[in-house]
Amino acid sequence: MKVRKIVMLATLIAVISGGELSAQAKTRMLSKITHVKVTKHRVTGYTTKYAHLKLTGLKHHEKASAKANKHGKFVIKVKKNNLKKLNFKIKATKKGYKTLTYKYKTVKKTTSNKVKSSKQLGKEHMTVENINNTVSSNITTSSNVSTPTKPSGYMKTKAELIKEKHNQLTEAKRAYYMIKNDSQKDIESYNSLMHQIDEALVEVNQAIKAQSTSTSSNSEELQKAVNDAQSKYDALTSGNTYKEIINRQKIIQKKLSAAEDKISSIADELHMLEPEKPFEGAYMN
């Protein structure tokens, strides 16, 4: 009887350990928390749609949380804390995804970096202030020339930059969805494998439960059911096929993450030029 209990305990530990490995393999990455705006009693931003957001590091024992909408936008409100004067964290969670944390730190205002040269900013990262102060005298015209030319040192107008950023954003989104479409078969294979692993793990747990609660004398049959379920689970989570599918998924996720970062970066730059327009980085999933 003692030997049987030891065997059952060892099997249970192996299953639990296997379940943890399965959960890790299935975990996907949440979209980075971007375009965060903080006011005295509110913080907004974007991440994966329907993710759960929670603020940590608040004072006065206050708790605050929210859920992202179908576009990935979230709004978290507080009553007792002044978020502008507080260092806090935004914790994002979603079933099947790895937990993501965003750190917000208060920054002291300085005057040394208020003005930057156009070389520092670059043509792609000019601030709205520099755009509005474009010197028209840089563009020379001549009565003998019908079409004005753009001399060296010409700074793009705000309208030109907005158009350029819209084109870049469209192209970045096209590239993102191209990666996703090209990888569709591999993604489906990965999801199918994870589903099979989940089902096999349920069978293992059910077999162990049936064995541990049984009062009948058919202990050998119950042990065989546990062994069969465990063998099925082990076969799914080992071998070359499992490794190849997991490795391909990691590569796909890395490509998609890089594409998402590019979209978010361009969307941030565009929102600087058009702060009154909706943020166009809510593209994930």
pLDDT digits (tens, 9 = 90+) for 180-200: 999 999 999 999 999 999 999
SS3 state at 283? coil
Which CATH fold topology does 33-104 show?
Immunoglobulin-like (2.60.40)
Q: Give the chain's radius of gyration (CA, Å).
A: 28
Beta strand pairing status for 97-98 and 28-29?
Answer: parallel
In this predicted structure, the answer to whether residue 51 has a pLDDT above a threshold of 90 is: yes
Q: Which amino acid is at 28?
A: R
192 vs 141, more confident = 192
Locate the DSSP E strands across the chain. 28-29, 34-38, 42-46, 52-56, 64-67, 73-77, 88-93, 97-98, 100-104
Q: Would you state the pLDDT for residue 137? A: 43
Which of 45, 41, 160 is closest to 100 using CA atoms?
45
Among 109-123, 204-218, 260-274, name the one with the lowest average pLDDT: 109-123
Residue 257 reports pLDDT greater than 80: yes
pLDDT in tens, 83-119: 988 999 999 999 989 899 999 988 765 544 444 444 4
pTM greater than 0.75 (yes/no): no
Mean pLDDT value across residues 19-31: 59
CA end-to-end span of the chain, whole Å? 53
Mean pLDDT taken over the chain: 78
Q: Is the pLDDT of residue 241 over 80?
A: yes
pLDDT of residue 152: 64
pLDDT value at residue 278 = 82
Q: Which of 78-92, 105-119, 198-212, 229-243 has the lowest mean pLDDT?
A: 105-119
Query: In one letter, which amino acid is 143?
Result: S
Q: Name the 3-class secondary structure at 41.
A: coil
Burial of 239 (0-12, 13-18, 19+ CB in 10 A): exposed
| Residue pair 34/45 in contact by the 8 Å Cβ criterion | yes
For a pLDDT cut of 70, what percent of the chain falls above it?
72
